[in-house]
Amino acid sequence: MQNKYPNFLLVDHPLVKKDITILRDETTKPDTFREAVKRISTVLAVNISSDFLLSTFKVKTPLEQTKGFSLKQEIVLVPVLRAGLGMVSGFLAIIPDAKVGHIGLERNEKTLKPAEYYNKTPRNIDSSEVILLDPMLATGGSASSAISFLKKRGAKKIVFACLVAAPEGIKKLSADHPEIKIFSAALDRKLNNRGYILPGLGDAGDRTFGTL
């Protein structure tokens, strides 16, 4: 998959695999589910931020002056409501000064196509590093629509972060937005006839917020 779609990056880490297993387990309770999502999101944030550009400046230690570093561009996190909200705290733990926007998309369960119902993003999104957060990359329709919206708002640097990805979603996103990097904690087998990821972890939003 990574050879076929070079923009797809699987975060292959023992602790991530352990936490993905917690998410998959149907007996996992919402509080435990949320904590696992946060931990995985933290690891994703570390991997994504390795490409951030830096500015240098002089900083004075108690002993002498030395070179210091700061992020060159502002970071904007954009969770897709509502499931993406569960990933925000993990990213903020690594990037505490990031701004947070929101996009609301609903999937039509018959057509599987997304419909936008809410959006709010910072004004300076055009000069920021934007990280779109959505736990599941299934058909890719919602993620593609969200990225198109962000581009219309002026966003030029966008990466997509998810917990679980299906090959169908990677193919869709790569075709629609070939310049976008996709970071995922797991690569699953396929979608079922209802558009759910197999083996997957169920509905991430319902499991995060206990609304099953």
Residue 138 exposure: Cα atoms within 13 Å on the Cβ side:
22
pLDDT at position 107: 66
51 classed as catalytic: no
Q: Which two tokens stand for residue 106?
A: 């609903």
pLDDT at position 93: 98
Ranges of residues in the chain with a pLDDT under 70 are 1-3, 107, 112
pLDDT at position 112: 64
66 classed as catalytic: no
Choice among 12, 111, 123, 189 that is catalytic? 111
12 classed as catalytic: no
The amino acid at residue 171 is: K
pLDDT at position 37: 98
Total-model pTM: 0.92
Alpha-helix runs per DSSP H in the chain: 14-24, 30-49, 85-94, 141-152, 167-176, 204-209
pLDDT at position 192: 95
Short-list 170, 198, 201, 195, CA closest to 184: 170
Choice among 24, 107, 153, 176 that is catalytic? 107
pLDDT at position 117: 85
107 classed as catalytic: yes
CA distance 181 to 29: 32
| E strand or H helix at 55 | strand 54-60
Q: Which domains are present in the chain?
A: 8-209 (3.40.50.2020)
pLDDT at position 5: 82
Short-list 31, 36, 9, 8, CA closest to 21: 36
CB 44 within 8 A of CB 161: yes
